[in-house]
Amino acid sequence: MTNEDILNGIGKFSELDCELFEKYSTRQKLNKDEFILKQGEICNSLHFVIEGSFIQYQIKDVDEKIIDLHMSNEWMFNQDSLTEQIPSKTNIRAYSNSEILTLSLNGFHFLCSKSQTFLQFAKILNQDKHRTSLFDSSLNPLEKYEFINKIRPKLTNTFPLKLIASYLKLAPETLSRVRATS
């Protein structure tokens, strides 16, 4: 996947925009269980998953509480930590061997200063807040499962039931029953 392909997933960018993006972004390969962000660190980058998968979670007591699951062709970052520059309350860890493209916050600000076109990244920066409110308030277990199957159909093939249940804020047994009836 080229950097131009990644940008085209956000909006329309000129050839010069693509060249600037190429200059200010980096690619990195990560092994399973490597972290790109640990709880307490400040998130200073946006990451695009080229290949692989990641989990974003909090440690509550001794359990991992899944906040988000990330797959190929998705952007990931800690929303609050990145936008407010405060310590992260979550970890982001590679669930499988992966490759990512990273754009630092400073690089992003520079790109925005050179081209207003990069303000299209607001679509990415605002996506997590919508997901959280959607899952936390309005959907019953069946609707949550149907929603992820419609919007993110590869999720159920990429991650085990226990992680998906935590992501949907359901008990694994509840998710098993929902899957059996859908």
Q: Which of residues 70 and 182 earns the better pLDDT score?
A: 70
Nearest one of 29, 34, 172 to 91, comparing CA atoms: 34
What number is the average pLDDT over the span 14-41? 96
What number is the average pLDDT over the span 134-161? 86
Does residue 59 contact residue 30 with C-beta atoms inside 8 Å? no
Q: Look up the pTM and report it.
A: 0.90
Average pLDDT, the chain: 90
The two tokens of residue 152 are: 């993110």
Identify the helix (H) or strand (E) that includes residue 47.
strand 45-51
Report how far residue 77's alpha carbon sits from residue 29's, in angstroms, rounded to the nearest whole number. Answer: 17
Q: Which of residues 94 and 125 earns the better pLDDT score?
A: 94
Residue 134: per-residue pLDDT: 55
pLDDT range class, residue 136, cuts 50, 70, 90: low
Residue 152: per-residue pLDDT: 87
Residue 58: per-residue pLDDT: 94
pLDDT range class, residue 29, cuts 50, 70, 90: very high
Report how far residue 45's alpha carbon sits from residue 92's, in angstroms, rounded to the nearest whole number. Answer: 12
Q: Which of 9-23, 44-58, 156-170 has the highest mean pLDDT?
A: 44-58
